[in-house]
Structure 1
Amino acid sequence: MKFFLIALSLISWINSAQAKELIYSLSPVKVAQNVYAFIGSTDYFNRENGGNIVNTGFIIGTDGVIVIDSGPSLRYGLQMRKAIRTITPKPVTSVIITHHHPDHFLGNTAFPDSEIYALPETIEAIKVEGDGLLENMFHMVGDWMIDTELKLPTKAISSSKMVMSGRSLRFLPLNGHTQGDLAIMDEQTGVLFAGDLAFYNRTATTPHAHLHNWYDSLDILMNSGFKTVVPGHGPIDQDGASLEQTLRYLKWLEATLKQAAKDGLEMTEVLRLKTPEEFKSLDLHRDEFYRSVSHLWPDIVNETLPLIAQDLD
């Protein structure tokens, strides 16, 4: 009996420890009147952060709450709902997904009674890649993903403006980070949820990037009349510094890789190129540079070599 009680106590302690480890500790940050954000880690996905490397948010309307991105897991979405209730008792009536990367939409299953909106390109990308993204998240963050299932957005965004729960929202359908990147402006406060078109003090990721389209999208956002920017990753900014920093980094990245291709460098040599002082302060600057080389180098070489051949003719 004594052994049984010890074993029971041990199991209870393990379960308690696991439960404690699986708490995201989401804390709403007030961005403007009735507009809040949850600010995630700027690290990679891992079993310590549970995939909470993303900024999500919510807007309180007259009769409900609009969520911007549902996070990386069912557990995140449920804990987001609980955190929202510390601010308002109003129900979540709408969820808007900015793009198809897993940290932004895998919490959809926590909102079974809400309409979930996304661009048509995002919905199609989730249909094509969603199962693989979900499986990969299970591999990377483990038990945090328990009971998370793939849930597609229910409504395709086809208009540039919409009133949701009494809030006038402007939709900017863009691309560059992925094939479908939605930025959302709350017109009442001027808060711009930029999604992953903007990274701030955290190096941009490029697994689905089209750099020149990304430049064009950032130019549109810079001229959108925002008052505050909530980037997809990193701290909130009041003057568009996240947009400008992202643009400068991406242009440096492209110019560096093109010059390396012209110089005839091998990929292993490119990986050893130094980061400028301006970007050394960005979180994960070396890791993301390595990843971007692997993503972008083949296409840049293919684009650059014909140009070199033309110059030689």
Structure 2
Amino acid sequence: MKRLVLAVLLLLTAAAQAAEPRRYGLEPEKVAPDTYVFVGKTENFSPANGGNIVNTGFIVTKAGVVVIDTGPSLLYGREMRQAIAKVTPLPVVRVINTHLHPDHIFGNQAFADVGIEALPATIRGEEAHGKAFADNMYRMVGAWMQGTELHPPSRQLPRAVQTVGGHRLEMIAVQGHTDADLMVLDHATGVLFASDMAFLDRAPTTPHAEPAAWVAALDEMAKLPFTVLIPGHGRPDKERRAIRQTRDWLAWLDATLRRVAEDGLEMTEAMAQPIPERFAGMALAREEFVRSVSHLYPRLEQASLRRTGP
């Protein structure tokens, strides 16, 4: 009888938890005057975190609010709007997608009345890959995605430098993490929204990466006149650690994979390569290294075989 009662209680508890409304509990962190960031976890996607592994943000200008990336789900986007409304009564007037990856774009629905802007290649990428991204997100984070549908940007970003409500915003188009990455530099505050061009204390992701182009873009990024860098993943950074760390990882990754490809190692052998001790404090280092081998190694193997073939 005791076991039966315990089983019933466990079922009732599980049912009650399932019935509770999901909440990300987003809290904006002020990083500069008029400038706020929602800092995500440095984790993999999971049903426990609902995909909240990304940094999104917003700038409050005299003309209204500029939103930079919308998060992994419709629920996340809705919570963003609620949190923004607690900071300012001004309306959201601009919404920007920095690139096509799903943790940055699936809150777009919550801003459909404003319209979403992105680089042309990002728009094409979301339209081409968005359905597959959505399927993967539903698989990885489950019910957090309820009601979420693809809502690609409908507007191409206008000229590179724009003044919005007293904030001079420079839209910087680069590539390396994907074929179309956008950074936003606010010259009024010195804040650089670097998106996934920079990671801090979390290993970079590479499903659409070109490491050499990425390293070159990081070298140019280091020359920009910013005081606070907002990476796509990791804490806001005033010491430029994110640039140095991301560059170091990518340079090591590229050199390692090229070396083992030249040595003729199989992919499983490449995945077993040691990771330098200096990356020991980096979240998901082994997981992302293994993924990067699967993303990047086949091309390097083929190039090596062409050079050594008859």
Written as runs of structure 1 = structure 2, the 5 A alignment for 1:42-191 is 42-191=42-191
Instruction: Specify the alignment match of 1:242 in structure 2.
Output: 242
Return the alpha-carbon distance in structure 1 between the equivalents of residues 57 and 227 of structure 2. Answer: 16
Tell me if the contact between 1:93 and 1:113 (Cα under 8 Å) persists in the aligned partners. Answer: no
Q: Does 1:214 align with 2:214?
A: yes
Instruction: Specify the alignment match of 1:298 in structure 2.
Output: 298
Instruction: Specify the alignment match of 1:267 in structure 2.
Output: 267
Tell me if the contact between 2:63 and 2:164 (Cα under 8 Å) persists in the aligned partners. Answer: no
Return the alpha-carbon distance in structure 2 between the equivalents of residues 66 and 236 of structure 1. Answer: 18
Instruction: Specify the alignment match of 2:5 in structure 1.
Output: none
Counterpart amino acid of residue 144 in structure 2: W
Return the alpha-carbon distance in structure 2 between the equivalents of residues 21 and 252 of structure 1. Answer: 44
Instruction: Specify the alignment match of 2:195 in structure 1.
Output: 195
Q: Does 1:285 align with 2:285?
A: yes
Secondary structure at the aligned position of 1:44 is classed as: coil
Structure 1 residue runs of 5 or longer lacking an equivalent are 1-9
Secondary structure at the aligned position of 1:115 is classed as: coil
- Quote the offset at 1:21 in angstroms: 6.3
- Quote the offset at 1:166 in angstroms: 3.6
Counterpart amino acid of residue 176 in structure 1: G
Return the alpha-carbon distance in structure 2 between the equivalents of residues 153 and 12 of structure 1. Answer: 43
Return the alpha-carbon distance in structure 2 between the equivalents of residues 46 and 53 of structure 1. Answer: 9
Return the alpha-carbon distance in structure 2 between the equivalents of residues 163 and 12 of structure 1. Answer: 55
Tell me if the contact between 1:275 and 1:286 (Cα under 8 Å) persists in the aligned partners. Answer: yes
Instruction: Specify the alignment match of 1:232 in structure 2.
Output: 232
* TM-score, with length taken from structure 2: 0.93
Tell me if the contact between 1:31 and 1:37 (Cα under 8 Å) persists in the aligned partners. Answer: yes
- Quote the offset at 1:305 in angstroms: 3.5
Superimposed CA distance per residue, residues 170-218 of structure 1 (whole angstroms, 9 cap, x where no aligned partner): 0100111011100000110110000101010000000000111111211
Deviates more, 1:295-304 or 1:284-293: 295-304
Tell me if the contact between 1:66 and 1:165 (Cα under 8 Å) persists in the aligned partners. Answer: no
Change (3 A) 1:158 1:260: same
Return the alpha-carbon distance in structure 2 between the equivalents of residues 89 and 112 of structure 1. Answer: 19
Superimposed CA distance per residue, residues 38-77 of structure 1 (whole angstroms, 9 cap, x where no aligned partner): 0001111110100110000000010311111000000000
Counterpart amino acid of residue 61 in structure 1: T
Tell me if the contact between 1:106 and 1:151 (Cα under 8 Å) persists in the aligned partners. Answer: yes
Superimposed CA distance per residue, residues 74-95 of structure 1 (whole angstroms, 9 cap, x where no aligned partner): 0000011111122112111111
- Quote the offset at 1:239 in angstroms: 2.2
Structure 2 residue runs of 5 or longer lacking an equivalent are 1-9
Instruction: Specify the alignment match of 2:4 in structure 1.
Output: none
Return the alpha-carbon distance in structure 1 between the equivalents of residues 111 and 11 of structure 2. Answer: 32
Change (3 A) 1:68 1:239: same
Superimposed CA distance per residue, residues 15-55 of structure 1 (whole angstroms, 9 cap, x where no aligned partner): 76336562101111111001010000111111010011000
Secondary structure at the aligned position of 2:116 is classed as: strand
Tell me if the contact between 2:46 and 2:140 (Cα under 8 Å) persists in the aligned partners. Answer: yes
- Quote the offset at 1:115 in angstroms: 2.9
> What's the Cα RMSD here?
2.0
- Quote the offset at 1:159 in angstroms: 1.8
* TM-score, with length taken from structure 1: 0.92
Change (3 A) 1:137 1:159: same
Superimposed CA distance per residue, residues 151-170 of structure 1 (whole angstroms, 9 cap, x where no aligned partner): 11121114211123442100
Return the alpha-carbon distance in structure 1 between the equivalents of residues 161 and 210 of structure 2. Answer: 26
Secondary structure at the aligned position of 2:100 is classed as: coil
Superimposed CA distance per residue, residues 215-237 of structure 1 (whole angstroms, 9 cap, x where no aligned partner): 12111211111111000001111
Secondary structure at the aligned position of 1:121 is classed as: helix
Tell me if the contact between 1:96 and 1:117 (Cα under 8 Å) persists in the aligned partners. Answer: yes
Deviates more, 1:147-156 or 1:71-80: 147-156
